[in-house]
Amino acid sequence: MRNVIAGMVATLWLGLAQAATPTTAVLHAANMTCPACNVTIKKALSRVPGVTSTKVDLKAETITVTYDADRTTVPVLMHTVTDAGFPATAQTHGG
């Protein structure tokens, strides 16, 4: 019984070690003017494989996206937001 439990723990640990580390991107998006924009952007990004969370800041005109870099890329995120009606660019570190 101890061997079975040890095997399960080892398998779980190896699975967690291989799980992708979440990556975060901050996008700058134009034309965000109302709370409905928030809903539209979150809905569009929820359809992108690998996106795990989205935070929209209307005042700062930014979108913070947490995603699995093995499943999607920043250009895909920008394209998705732009196609939803909000021209997006990647925000560089420091600005």
pLDDT tens digits, 66-90: 999 999 999 999 999 999 999 999 9
Q: Which residue has the higher pLDDT, 91 or 5?
A: 91
- Reading across the β-sheet that carries 62-68, which strands appear in turn? 51-57, 62-68, 22-29, 88-90
CATH number reported for the structural domain that contains residue 72 in this entry: 3.30.70.100
Residue 7 lies in a domain: no
Q: How far apart are CA 83 and CA 69, in angstroms?
A: 21
Residue 81 lies in a domain: yes
Q: Which residues pair with 26 in a beta bridge?
A: 64
Is the pLDDT assigned to residue 95 strictly greater than 50?
no
Residue 74 lies in a domain: yes
The answer to pTM > 0.85 is no
Q: What is the count of structural domains for the chain?
A: 1
pLDDT tens digits, 13-43: 555 445 568 999 999 999 999 999 999 999 9
Residue 49 lies in a domain: yes
Is the pLDDT assigned to residue 1 strictly greater than 90?
no
Residue 31 lies in a domain: yes
Residue 71 lies in a domain: yes
Cα of 57 vs its chain's centroid, Å: 15
The answer to whether the beta carbons of residues 65 and 42 sit under 8 Å apart is: no
Q: Which domain holds residue 27?
A: 20-90
